[in-house]
A and B are shown apart, each in its own frame.
Chain A
């Protein structure tokens, strides 16, 4: 059998079983050996998409992709290699990527300092715009964000008259799964500003001083892109309260660095809105919540009925349904987070599938299945709300959490939180 015949055979086999990633990997390797680099990279990318690219191949494939000008693919290979702990070749691939990115000018900005490409890859500008229209319900929160964040961007002249400038630090907090990240993206969309996302995975490095340096570079890039929104999701992982940290390790140093970036001695934070989000504001270092840093806090409560209806609509979309009263279900699920609602839908779908398997007919998801799913469903936000009640009751001397206290003091809430 010639090499061409073998390749044809492999192609045919992959066409027949497109989900056989091991086979696709063999095809990709054979194509590479045959010198068909472009076709090989396409196959390797599919294997990578399926999460089946062996880690020991990541650097080699990434290097080939970088040379072929497929920088994004190469960056993904580099991420895979780093996450898998591959040491050999990652630094070389990173250097190659840095050089190629700089040559392409993709990360340079005309009006700012040349950003470090190392972090530019990590802090990416959101590709798709998202606005408040994409966030169902939560009207009070949207109004608060509009007043405190969006308007200073849209009417800087007016706010400057009152000594207010766009930017600063705002902390979104609330139970998990309730749309803080989506709200942050929508805020950036409303401001018409680029959205830069800096996560703990992008910053953390075991080597002494490197994590702080990465954090600094992330902020530098955001300053160069200003006006923009720098989003620090799960900010407690970056700025975990120093009182809980026994050793003077990387955690403490990161808090110090973050404070320095926010205070911006020797740096200009004008137009830079630092938006933090956390489920555990009580674990965020106190120093971060002082004036000039994250001095505005916005509570993002569990979705209201309107938001729940929209979440349910989305979760049920593209599923065969019959006679589900979504409005009633939204009313029956107070304090359910988005994830809780999706879990209810998934359980109902599972029940419908079980029924379909026994009856050999297509059984649409019906109200009956939803009712059965609701019998075991619980709002996971209640535990968070109880903790929040404890905290706001005993640690709200400054009145920062008055908003969440008022929310928890509602008669309906008190009833729900009763054990």
Chain B
């Protein structure tokens, strides 16, 4: 077995650090091949070294300027670095060689979404879906796009489609958890986010959200739930309007009682929020 096959396997099983160690052992001839550079770039990308990944991809492209896999890698790495213009240039070069490639179109759509060009991303994704109707990558992009547009119903429907194809998609469960959280359905959010953590426990922020969803179900946290559900600013505006309205209607006592209750609820929510933060830590 050649070392490159081992490297490929290590990358496939989520061990990019080990893959990099294997790549370091390659002789100079093998290390300079396009495959080795691609694998090194991929390993760098998966260890959070986007700059190094860009370097690897560019080195490979010097020898093979039209290599679609390297152009794709370069685009992903540039996007990871935050250079969306360079990422777009790389993916457009790749699309120049394979205009209907669904993976390339999905990557282009991701870049457009990050740049806030949702309409254009939608058009690109429509082309991608026509080209590869069964692509899970394209479906995931569609879900993200629907969520970014604020169309949670569509995002939810598409996520159920994704989970029907791949019941153990951590991202799918995470999306449903986020939607449930927005609706204030804490038990569903806890269940979905917990499943996402079980499948991919490395994401601390998802685990913290799942923990928060669990803790917030306790009775003590009802004021926090209340504010989370309706948002702090609208709730405050509604409360002040009600107090002013009651006073205007001559119901001074009711306005006073409501105002006092409101202050207690606010103090309670503040204490509960602090306690929640403490518990999450």
A positions within 8 Å CB-CB of B? 55, 82-85, 200-201, 204-206, 234, 236-237, 240, 243-245, 249-251, 280, 282-283, 386-391, 393-395, 418-419
Q: CA–CA, A234 to B168, complex, Å?
A: 23
Interface centre among A82, A237, A390 (most CB of B within 10 A): A390
B9 at the interface (CB under 8 A from A): yes
Interface centre among B1, B3, B12, B18 (most CB of A within 10 A): B1
B211 at the interface (CB under 8 A from A): yes
Contact with A along B18-60 (1 / 0, CB 8 A): 1000000001001000000000000000000000000000000
Chain B residues near A236 (CB-CB < 8 A): 13, 15
Chain B residues near A393 (CB-CB < 8 A): 197, 207, 211
Structural contact, B199 and A243, CB atoms closer than 8 A: yes
Q: CA–CA, A243 to B171, complex, Å?
A: 13
Please name the 3 residue pairs, one residue from A and one from B, whose CB atoms are nearest each other, closest first.
Answer: A395-B198, A391-B201, A390-B207
Q: CA–CA, A99 to B252, complex, Å?
A: 103
Structural contact, B10 and A237, CB atoms closer than 8 A: yes
Which residue of chain B has the shortest Cβ distance to A386 in the bound complex?
A: B204
B210 at the interface (CB under 8 A from A): yes
Q: Would you list 30 pairs from A and B whose C-beta atoms are within 8 A, ordered by A residue?
A: A83-B2, A84-B30, A85-B3, A201-B1, A204-B5, A206-B1, A236-B13, A237-B10, A237-B13, A237-B18, A243-B168, A243-B199, A250-B9, A251-B13, A282-B198, A282-B201, A283-B13, A283-B14, A386-B204, A387-B201, A387-B204, A390-B202, A391-B198, A393-B207, A394-B195, A394-B197, A394-B207, A395-B197, A418-B281, A419-B204
Given A201-B6, A204-B9, 17 other A-B residues pairs in contact with their CB atoms under 8 A: A82-B1, A83-B2, A83-B3, A85-B2, A206-B2, A234-B15, A236-B15, A237-B13, A237-B18, A250-B9, A283-B13, A386-B204, A387-B202, A390-B201, A394-B198, A395-B201, A419-B281
Chain A residues near B210 (CB-CB < 8 A): 394
Q: CA–CA, A394 to B208, complex, Å?
A: 11
Q: Which of A390, A418, A419 is within 8 Å of B197, CB to CB? A: A390
Shortest Cβ distance from residue A84 to the other chain B in the assembled complex, whole angstroms: 6
Q: Which of B2, B3, B15, B194 is within 8 Å of A394, CB to CB? A: B194
Chain A residues near B12 (CB-CB < 8 A): 240, 245, 249, 251
Q: CA–CA, A250 to B281, complex, Å?
A: 41
Chain A residues near B15 (CB-CB < 8 A): 234, 236-237
Count of residues in B whose CB is under 8 Å from the partner chain: 29
Contact with A along B101-125 (1 / 0, CB 8 A): 0000000000000000000000000
Structural contact, B6 and A390, CB atoms closer than 8 A: no
Structural contact, B168 and A200, CB atoms closer than 8 A: no
Chain A residues near B203 (CB-CB < 8 A): 390
Structural contact, A390 and B5, CB atoms closer than 8 A: no
Q: CA–CA, A388 to B203, complex, Å?
A: 11
Q: CA–CA, A55 to B13, complex, Å?
A: 29
Structural contact, B201 and A394, CB atoms closer than 8 A: yes
Shortest Cβ distance from residue A290 to the other chain B in the assembled complex, whole angstroms: 16
Shortest Cβ distance from residue B276 to the other chain A in the assembled complex, whole angstroms: 15
* A240 and B14 contact, Cβ closer than 8 Å, known pairs A204-B9, A391-B198, A394-B210: yes
Chain B residues near A386 (CB-CB < 8 A): 204
Q: CA–CA, A205 to B2, complex, Å?
A: 8
Chain A residues near B18 (CB-CB < 8 A): 234, 237
Chain B residues near A280 (CB-CB < 8 A): 14
* A244 and B14 contact, Cβ closer than 8 Å, known pairs A390-B197, A395-B197: yes
Interface centre among A55, A83, A250 (most CB of B within 10 A): A83
Which residue of chain A has the shortest Cβ distance to B281 in the bound complex?
A: A418
Q: CA–CA, A85 to B3, complex, Å?
A: 8
Chain A residues near B195 (CB-CB < 8 A): 394
Shortest Cβ distance from residue B200 to the other chain A in the assembled complex, whole angstroms: 8
Chain B residues near A204 (CB-CB < 8 A): 1, 5-6, 9
Shortest Cβ distance from residue A387 to the other chain B in the assembled complex, whole angstroms: 5
Which residue of chain B has the shortest Cβ distance to A239 in the bound complex?
A: B13
Structural contact, A206 and B281, CB atoms closer than 8 A: no
Q: CA–CA, A386 to B280, complex, Å?
A: 12
Chain B residues near A244 (CB-CB < 8 A): 13-14
Contact with A along B51-89 (1 / 0, CB 8 A): 000000000000000000000000000000000000000
Which residue of chain A has the shortest Cβ distance to B14 in the bound complex?
A: A283
Which residue of chain A has the shortest Cβ distance to B208 in the bound complex?
A: A390
Which residue of chain A has the shortest Cβ distance to B194 in the bound complex?
A: A394
Chain A residues near B2 (CB-CB < 8 A): 82-85, 206
Chain B residues near A243 (CB-CB < 8 A): 168, 199
Q: CA–CA, A250 to B6, complex, Å?
A: 12
Q: CA–CA, A16 to B155, complex, Å?
A: 74
Structural contact, B13 and A84, CB atoms closer than 8 A: no
Shortest Cβ distance from residue A118 to the other chain B in the assembled complex, whole angstroms: 13
* A237 and B207 contact, Cβ closer than 8 Å, known pairs A82-B1, A84-B30, A201-B1: no
Chain B residues near A390 (CB-CB < 8 A): 197, 201-204, 207
Interface centre among B10, B168, B198 (most CB of A within 10 A): B198
Chain A residues near B204 (CB-CB < 8 A): 386-387, 390, 419
